[in-house]
Amino acid sequence: MDGKVQGENGGSAEAPIPLLTPYTLGKFQLSHRVVLAPLTRRRSWNNVPQPHAILYYSQRTTKGGLLIAEATGVSDTAQGYPQTPGIWTKEQVEAWKPIVDAVHAKGGIFFCQIWHVGRVSNTGFQPNGQAPISCTDKPLTPQTRSNSIDVAQFSTPRRLTTEEIPQVVNDFRLAARNAIEAGFDGVEIDGAHGYLLDQFMKDQVNDRTDKYGGSLENRCRFPLEVVEAIVDEIGADKVGIRLSPFANYSEAGDSNPEALGLYMVESLNKYRLVYCHMVEPRMKTVGEKYETPHSLLPMRKAFRGTFIVAGGYDREDGNNAVAENRADLVAYGRLFLANPDLPKRFALNAPLNKYNKETFYTPDPNVGYTDYPLLEDTQ
């Protein structure tokens, strides 16, 4: 697909690589298929997005490019990391507006990823020092963060009662409404990586005996209630979801991840979501690739909508995924973090900046955040 094509004036031009071909995502016209993955950056003081995020996101915006914002808390119980943004207060909604405006000014499409961390938290992040909430009261053992430096400590969670779950569903619904008010084009529901929705789905975590536990159908009930509530609130054309059935982040593994992934995408089909964003089976833990016999292909084939893949992709790998129809779009995290002009670098097959893990989460508004050089600055 890298062969020559006739240019409009009769001269020859390089055919675009598969990643840089246009794509129709619901009502959005994308100019290429390189997506900014949602990346926690921990630079939102007191859970309020900051003006320095305007430059960060606009640097990574291209006309017709899709960006997914960092995971954003749906309520005051949703947090489990320092300085992560929320979207449950008026102040937070107002603070997001100039950031969204900057992305739109450059022609980008911007989705807000909304999350609740569940038991991946401790009393220090919770209102009045209460216990974090989850589907279970099984605690997590301390975990090394994805920068390979920080070690996180967790408090024993409190098991949500059956009657409390609708309130959490409503928190997600309100967060989605707030995201649209802030100007976002849509939301991505975070159902991945061992956070609250994933805790309910995975049989290694969920030990409930009510209608939200036990069978696969019951374990997926709460995530699907969240989907339904958000679709009813803002419309399916503005809703995507991220899932990681194969991952074992935060001790959230499943005994039959393929069945879980298939059940979820088949259930999601009836809601006609604009996309499903899935993490590759090779990414069992943070930032490390593993050899695996598993594949997302069965889920790709079963899902009737746009399919986004993520997890350890480089330029060649992403091109192959699109060329072989294993994905419509490819999300890049660390490469996009370190290369604000990643689509341009892919187009030119230019060398890439190396990312620095040590500054992923530094509470600095510039270093490791907006100071990665553009291609023209390095030449």
195 is known as an active-site residue: yes
Report the C-alpha dihedral over residues 118, 121, 124, 125, rounded to 10 degrees.
-50
Go through 151-163 and write b for each residue having 16 or more CB atoms within 10 A of its CB, e for each that does not.
Answer: eeebbebbbbeee
CA distance 74 to 122: 17
CA distance 248 to 311: 14
Phi, psi of 109 (to 5 degrees): -110, 130
Q: Going by C-beta distance under 8 Å and a sequence separation of 6 or more, which residues neighbour residue 317? A: none
- Per annotation, catalytic residue among 57, 81, 195, 361: 195
CA distance 89 to 227: 21
CA distance 19 to 328: 9
CA distance 246 to 257: 5
CA 335 to chain centre: 15
Element (H, E) at 216: helix 216-219
Q: For the CA atoms of the chain, what is the radius of gyration?
A: 20
CA distance 283 to 302: 21
Q: Which residues are catalytic?
A: 195
